[in-house]
Amino acid sequence: MKALFDSSSVNCSKLVTKTYSTSFSLGIRLFAPSIRPAIYSIYGFVRYADEIVDSFQGYDQEVLLQEFEDDYKKSLVRKISLNPIINSFQHVVRQYDLFEYVDAFLASMRHDLDKTDYNTRKEYNDYIYGSADVVGLMCLRVFVNNDNEKFNHLKESAQYLGSAFQKVNFLRDFKDDINELGRSYFPELETNTLTQNAKESILLDIENDFKEAYKGIVQLPLESRMGVFVAYKYYSKLLKKLKKADTTRIMNSRIRISNPLKFIILTKAYIRLKFNII
């Protein structure tokens, strides 16, 4: 039965989410059951594409990414794929009209194969749009259930949130990006060194993104608001830890949020939403 195959495909995307990110997996479990499968499907697809360009050293990453993209495009025509991650995703793409966002995302992933520096603000912003903003826009299409008026109203905030998450990731993963992947994302950097001035400029930029994103979070439908708010609080806490850490520590270690602290963040977020004090 095709329905059984489709169901198992979504379960594969769910497994990918749980395997790669406890934080996002927790956030998705706070969504209404009706929207969880679509969000799992989106995460599974973008996670695998990201893994190809980030983690498959020693393999022909360009060929693998091209095959992944080709399989995705074939699935749009055939309306099926034997790759369960792509199969679950193509349903969501067609249902929520995500085609242009996926194209932008795959273009940014391709940059990670050969581009190592983002020296101008435009290059930096274009990359973040394709690698993060569009993922937020994909999710927003699901959250508002294709309501164009609501989508357009919240679109800008969703992009700010995607940008904030990605920039926090860049700062958190500074050591690995520079030393293992040979990538330097922030235009503020000089010779791949994080100076105090550069750090302050980056933090100010991220804080502004979060400020603008918050305006939209509080207006999200109830089905998705809790999960997004928890992710927002988690990343805000991570940003605070990065702000307290000196540049040497950021360049030589990976700042983390402990599991007990994640639970505290979840509890506080739930209480704030319960009593409508966000």
pTM for the structure as a whole: 0.93
What pLDDT is stored for residue 274 in this prediction?
A: 64
- Among residues 43, 164, 131, 190, which one has the least CA distance to residue 172? 164
Mean pLDDT for 99-111 is 97
Residue 157 has pLDDT above 90, yes or no: yes
How far is 105 from 81, CA to CA, in rounded Å? 20
How far is 240 from 62, CA to CA, in rounded Å? 37
What pLDDT is stored for residue 122 in this prediction?
A: 93
CA atoms within 13 A on the CB side of 103: 5
Residue 181 has pLDDT above 80, yes or no: yes
Residue 276 has pLDDT above 70, yes or no: no
Architecture of domain 115-278: Orthogonal Bundle (1.10)
Element (H, E) at 263: helix 259-274
In the numeric block, which tokens belong to residue 227? 């999960």
Query: Mean pLDDT score of the chain, rounded to an integer?
Result: 92
Per the model's pLDDT, the better-predicted residue between 182 and 220 turns out to be 220
In the numeric block, which tokens belong to residue 132? 């993060």
Architecture of domain 1-102: Orthogonal Bundle (1.10)
Contacts of 57 (CB under 8 A, 6+ apart): none
Confidence of residue 277 (pLDDT cuts 50, 70, 90): low
Least confident span in 68-77, 90-99, 155-164, 233-242: 233-242
Give the residue range(s) of CATH 1.10.600.10 domains in the chain.
Answer: 1-102, 115-278
Q: State whether the Cα torsion 13-14-20-26 is positive or negative.
A: positive
- Among residues 60, 54, 62, 89, which one has the least CA distance to residue 170? 54
